[in-house]
């Protein structure tokens, strides 16, 4: 059906507003899939020489390349009619031939390939900037879009680079996107989806066929640590060539062969690479396409294989902020340019941050020099923090958690217990404890009591421990019952934190600090190589 509207009586501002409203309403209409055709055309006359066309089509009848083919044919007919010149179109190969070919795909071979390809992947790759990774993909979620255009000089430099390294443009983009996901997910093994044109080269005339050919398949990229960019790109290229044989496997079938639980997506990001001189040229001739993606992030990379390279990123606005997406695109630009500029560098040495961003983070935003009050001691600073944020976590270990209030109070009690045992200014106290919150409490308590601590690793030989105690003159050793049973400590006084805590707990938990800034705080025994 064709609908014709005449808006010549409206001013341009009103025309633009009504056009936006009409497009939005047209998208909401949807299609009745029980009646043909599942497309419609609206012609809007804006003035005596300008007509705006809206062509709406369901994705089930044609994909992006097919839409371009049809549009190109319509324009050729239109131009012929304008000059009253006869024009005939070549008969394209029917879509049913593709369907027959598709029915012959060997799913047994595909199953073996995809099971191997997806082995050990239990969950989709999640980006650190995803604000709600557990959210199920929402078709109606608000969608944002950002564009990134590369300079013509860089775009022109790509073809020589691709020829030199014997790779395709698609391989280069796959590698750059995989490397970016690796950094953003803190994982060197990532999975993303890719939309393929899906037109089998085995069918003659496939380039001019019209229909829904595109397929979506997962792409697995492993980022190596000891491989050059050039060698890695060859590896990605080889994997891509192998995967083309199996790109017509239905995505639902692929997911059923994976280890990812039913109901969870295989991937959260989708990549589309389009390399075609004619297709990208039409983008700059006043036409506009509206496409919706159900994936949280969809990256489209378009090139005319000459001087045009554009990246379009569509994203779920409820999961990704505009700022985060802008930064993501900046990092993608930097990684792609660096891969091309440094093919002999190790992949693991490719920096994520552009030089200006690195300088900001390490210098401009990292001015940490401050004037520090040298009269303050560690016990006093900890106590001040306990007063300021008493309920905040100060120490965690396994399932144990101490707040600043608890740390301050326990160390106050132990400090008084140590003073009762004879600790005064600069008394040396050995601390031999297994890694635990008690170790932090003990070190702080020794300082509060005015003493100086010697940290002793319980894995040291007992002879070395006793030598350290004797050499330092430490009269007291803070330790644990289990360690006393294993070793023969040569200290005048052993205080087992665990066994004696009931008595320690009877001490006052009021703030105590007999430490002074000029006093001895600790003694460290080192190997000869470290001083």
Angle between helices 378-388 and 404-420 (to 10 degrees): 140
pLDDT band at 454 (very low <50, low <70, confident <90, very high): very high
Measured at the CA of 293, the angle between CA 29 and CA 291, to 5 degrees, comes to: 60
Question: For residue 51, what are the β-bridge partners?
Answer: 45
Tokens 């997910």 identify what position?
185
Token reading at 296: 């949280």
Predicted confidence at residue 282, as pLDDT, reads 46
Q: Tell me the per-residue pLDDT of 456-486, one tens digit each, with 9 for 90 and over.
A: 999 888 888 888 989 999 999 999 988 987 7
Note if the bond before 254 is cis, omega within 30 degrees. Answer: no
Mean pLDDT to the nearest integer, 43-68? 88
pLDDT class of 32 with cuts at 50, 70, 90 = confident
Mean pLDDT of 506-528: 88
**Antiparallel, parallel or unpaired: β 143-149 and 309-316:** antiparallel
Higher per-residue confidence, 372 vs 13: 13
Lowest mean pLDDT among 9-23, 31-45, 116-130, 484-498: 484-498
Predicted local distance difference test score (pLDDT) of residue 284? 47
DSSP state of 364: I
Answer whether residue 204 shows pLDDT above 60.
yes
> Which residues on adjacent β-strands are paired with residue 2?
41
Q: What is the mean pLDDT of residues 257-261?
A: 91
- pLDDT attached to residue 218: 96
Task: Determine contact, residues 282/75, Cβ cutoff 8 Å.
Answer: no
Taking residues 397-403, report their average pLDDT. Answer: 85
In the predicted structure, residue 487 carries a pLDDT above the cut 80? no
Mean per-residue pLDDT, 349-373: 74
Q: Look at residue 203 and give its three-state secondary structure.
A: coil
On the question of pLDDT at 362 being above 70, the answer is no
User: Rounded CA gap, 296 and 132, in Å?
Assistant: 10
- CA-nearest of 123, 144, 136 to 320 is 144
233 within 8 A of 167, measured Cβ to Cβ: yes
**Predicted local confidence at residue 281, as pLDDT:** 45
Domain with CATH 3.40.50.12780 in the chain: 378-530
CATH number listed for the domain at residues 143-199+211-360:
3.30.559.30
Share of residues in the chain with pLDDT > 90 (%):
55
Which of the pair, 205 or 169, is modelled with greater confidence?
169
Q: What's the token pair of residue 147?
A: 């564009």
Residues of the chain with CATH 3.30.559.10: 2-82
Judge residue 32's burial from the number of C-beta atoms within 10 Å of its C-beta, 0-12 exposed, 13-18 middle, 19 or more buried: exposed
pLDDT recorded at residue 13: 94
Helix boundaries (H) for 395-453 = 404-420, 437-448
Q: Which residue has the higher pLDDT, 407 or 92?
A: 407
Q: 117-131, 301-315, 477-491: lowest mean pLDDT where?
A: 477-491
Region 147-163: what's the mean pLDDT?
Answer: 94
Contact 413, 390 (CB under 8 A): no
Structure tokens at 171: 């391989």
pLDDT, position 449: 94
What CATH topology corresponds to 2-82?
A: Chloramphenicol Acetyltransferase (3.30.559)
The predicted structure's pLDDT at residue 136: 62
Q: What is the pLDDT of residues 75-111, one digit of tens each?
A: 889 899 999 998 888 888 899 999 999 888 889 999 9
Quote the tokens at residue 44.
């809007």
pLDDT band at 37 (very low <50, low <70, confident <90, very high): confident
- Mean pLDDT over 292-321 rounds to 89
Tell me the sheet residues that pair with 121: none
Q: Check residues 355 and 145 and name the one with the higher pLDDT.
A: 145
Classify residue 427 as exposed, middle or buried by CB count within 10 Å of its CB (0-12, 13-18, 19+).
Answer: buried
Mean pLDDT of the chain: 88
Maximum mean pLDDT: which of 32-46, 227-241, 396-410: 227-241
Report residue 497's pLDDT band, with 50, 70 and 90 as the boundaries.
Answer: very high
Q: Strand 189-196 vs strand 215-222: parallel, antiparallel, or unpaired?
A: antiparallel
User: Which residues neighbour 36 within 8 Å (Cβ) at sequence distance 6 or greater?
Assistant: none
Confidence of residue 414 (pLDDT cuts 50, 70, 90): very high
Sheet with 297-303, edge to edge strand ranges: 143-149, 309-316, 297-303, 269-275, 189-196, 215-222
Question: What is the rounded distance in angstroms from the CA atom of residue 15 to the CA atom of residue 34?
Answer: 34
3-class SS of residue 192 = strand
Mean pLDDT, range 489-513, rounded to an integer: 90
The secondary structure of 114-152 as a DSSP string is HHHHTTT--S----TT-S-TTSPP-TTS-EEEEEEE--H
Kindly indicate the confidence band of residue 367, based on its pLDDT and cuts at 50, 70 and 90. Answer: low
Closest-CA residue to 53 (of 36, 32, 70)? 70
With beta carbons less than 8 A apart as the criterion, state whether 430 and 478 touch. Answer: yes
pLDDT surpasses 80 at 157: yes
CATH number assigned to the domain covering 378-530: 3.40.50.12780
Integer Cα distance of 257 and 116 in angstroms: 10
How far, in Å, CA of 423 to CA of 453, rounded?
Answer: 11
- The pLDDT of residue 381 is 93
């Amino acid at each position: 059906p064709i609908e014709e509207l005449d808006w010549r009586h409206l001013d341009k501002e009103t025309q633009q507003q009504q056009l936006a409203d009409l497009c939005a309403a047209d998208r909401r209409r949807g299609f009745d899939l029980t009646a043909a055709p599942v497309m419609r055309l609206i012609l809007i006359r804006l003035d005596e020489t300008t007509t705006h066309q809206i062509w709406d089509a369901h994705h089930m009848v044609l994909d992006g390349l097919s839409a371009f083919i049809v549009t190109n044919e319509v324009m050729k007919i239109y131009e012929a009619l304008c000059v009253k010149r006869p024009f005939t179109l070549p008969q394209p190969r029917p879509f049913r031939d593709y369907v027959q070919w598709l029915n012959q795909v060997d799913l047994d071979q595909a199953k073996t390939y995809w099971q191997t390809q997806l082995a050990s992947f239990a969950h989709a790759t999640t980006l650190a900037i995803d604000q709600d990774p557990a959210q199920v993909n929402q078709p109606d979620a608000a969608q944002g879009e950002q564009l990134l255009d590369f300079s013509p000089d860089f775009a022109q430099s790509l073809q020589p680079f691709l020829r030199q390294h014997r790779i395709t443009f698609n391989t280069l983009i796959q590698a750059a996107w995989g490397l970016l996901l690796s950094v953003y997910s803190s994982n060197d093994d990532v999975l993303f989806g890719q939309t393929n044109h899906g037109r089998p080269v085995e069918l003659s005339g496939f380039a001019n066929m019209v229909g829904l050919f595109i397929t979506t398949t997962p792409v697995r990229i492993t980022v190596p640590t000891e491989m050059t960019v050039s060698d890695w790109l060859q590896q990605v290229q080889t994997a891509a060539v192998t995967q083309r044989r199996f790109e017509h496997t239905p995505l639902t079938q692929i997911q059923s062969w994976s280890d990812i639980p039913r109901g969870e997506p295989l991937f959260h990001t989708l990549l589309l690479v389009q390399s075609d001189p004619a297709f990208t040229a039409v983008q700059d001739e006043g036409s506009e396409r509206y496409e919706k993606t159900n994936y949280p992030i969809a990256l489209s990379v378009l090139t005319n294989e000459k001087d045009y390279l554009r990246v379009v990123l569509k994203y779920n606005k409820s999961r990704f902020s505009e700022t985060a997406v802008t930064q993501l695109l900046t990092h993608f630009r930097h990684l792609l340019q660096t891969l091309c500029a440094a093919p002999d560098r190790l992949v693991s040495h490719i920096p994520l941050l552009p030089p200006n961003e690195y300088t900001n983070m390490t210098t401009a935003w990292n001015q940490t020099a401050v004037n520090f009050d040298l009269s303050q001691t560690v016990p006093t600073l900890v106590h001040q923090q306990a007063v300021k944020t008493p309920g905040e976590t100060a120490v965690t270990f396994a399932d144990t958690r101490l707040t600043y209030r608890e740390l301050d109070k326990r160390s106050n009690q132990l400090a008084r217990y140590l003073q009762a045992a004879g600790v005064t200014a600069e008394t040396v106290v050995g601390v031999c404890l297994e890694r635990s919150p008690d170790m932090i409490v003990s070190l702080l308590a020794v300082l509060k009591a005015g003493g100086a601590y010697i940290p002793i690793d319980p894995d040291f030989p007992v002879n070395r421990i006793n030598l350290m105690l004797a050499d330092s003159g430490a009269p007291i050793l803070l330790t644990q019952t289990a360690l006393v049973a294993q070793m023969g400590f040569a200290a005048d006084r052993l205080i087992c934190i665990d066994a004696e805590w009931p008595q320690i707990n009877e001490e006052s938990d009021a703030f105590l600090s007999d430490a002074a800034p000029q006093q001895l705080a600790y003694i460290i025994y080192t190997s000869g190589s470290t001083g």
